Amino acid sequence: MRAWAKIAQWIRHTLGAGIMATAEQLVQEGIDRSDDEDYEGAIELFTRAIATDPAYAFAYSERAMALLNLNRDEEALGDFTRALELDPRFPGARDWRARTYRSLGDHRAAAEDWLRELRDHPDGRHGMGICPQTWADCAEEFRKAGEPARAVELLEEYLDREAGRVTHYARFETAPLRVLAAQLAEDGQAERARQLATAACASPHHVPADFTLARRLGLPVTWPPEWTPPPGGWPEA
């Protein structure tokens, strides 16, 4: 009897390992299909992986990404949500769910997801440090959700505590300045808005949107000569 029990234990262990390996293999094959832009084929493989192992968060997340590439955002939203139910800190799932909420027009949900991402990872992800764009995106979604005070509070926190710690993502450093300046201008705080817009234009990482906002606020900024004007020329103030 003990021999048969050992055989049965070995069979259960072997089959269990095989199930996981099969799910992992299917996901990897699906990723290869996605890389080749065969998103329908990738979705089929991810779906088979989920059928093999319904608790495999990676399969849901990858299927969601493939669905986004086919503009099937609502289906993707469900898969990102399921991945987060299985693993609330699954890499990238909350950020991409926020982006999906944004594309679907659910600005409050997008803002709350990005806020959770910022709180869960105060030093950023993957050793890359703080990303100013995520702070700006979160604040912008609060603005669009009709909560400008939360947007201002969030960006003031960023400027007070986080802006000086930005390293790898410095190329995005003007995004929070731009969003905060735009909101303060709407709130009637024109002088502070102009100060922030001036700082954005003076940054070595400035972008055309910074100059567009500055001109809109009445600042006498000049477009950098190395930039190629868009069709029709640069926007006027």
Whichever domain contains 149, its CATH number is 1.25.40
Q: Which of 37, 70, 104 is the last residue of a domain?
A: 104
Q: Which of 104, 120, 148 is the last residue of a domain?
A: 104
What average pLDDT score do residues 206-226 get? 92
Task: Quickly list DSSP for 40-60.
Answer: HHHHHHHHHHHHH-TT-HHHH
Residues 6+ apart with CB under 8 A from 14: none
Q: Which of 46, 81, 104 is the last residue of a domain?
A: 104
Give yes or no: residues 168 and 148 share one domain. yes
Give yes or no: residues 87 and 191 share one domain. no
Predicted local distance difference test score (pLDDT) of residue 17: 45
Is pLDDT at 228 greater than 60 in this prediction?
yes
Give yes or no: residues 49 and 131 share one domain. no
Q: Which domain holds residue 117?
A: 107-237
Q: Say if 92 falls within a structural domain.
A: yes
CATH number at residue 76: 1.25.40.10
Computed over every residue of the chain, the mean pLDDT equals 90
Q: Say if 25 falls within a structural domain.
A: yes
Tell me which of 3-12, 42-51, 104-113, 199-208 is least confident: 3-12
pLDDT tens per residue, range 20-35 = 449 999 999 999 999 9
Tell me which of 31-35, 129-133, 152-156, 224-228 is least confident: 224-228
Is pLDDT at 231 greater than 90 in this prediction?
no
- How far CA 123 is from CA of 63, 114, 131, 216, in Å, comes to 28, 14, 9, 34
Res. 7 pLDDT band, cuts 50 70 90: very low
Q: Say if 160 falls within a structural domain.
A: yes
Number of domains making up the chain: 2
Q: Say if 3 falls within a structural domain.
A: no
Give yes or no: residues 52 and 165 share one domain. no
d(CA 97, CA 146): 20
pLDDT tens per residue, range 93-102 = 999 999 999 9
Predicted local distance difference test score (pLDDT) of residue 4: 40
Predicted local distance difference test score (pLDDT) of residue 225: 87
Give yes or no: residues 143 and 225 share one domain. yes
Give yes or no: residues 166 and 67 share one domain. no
d(CA 50, CA 22): 10
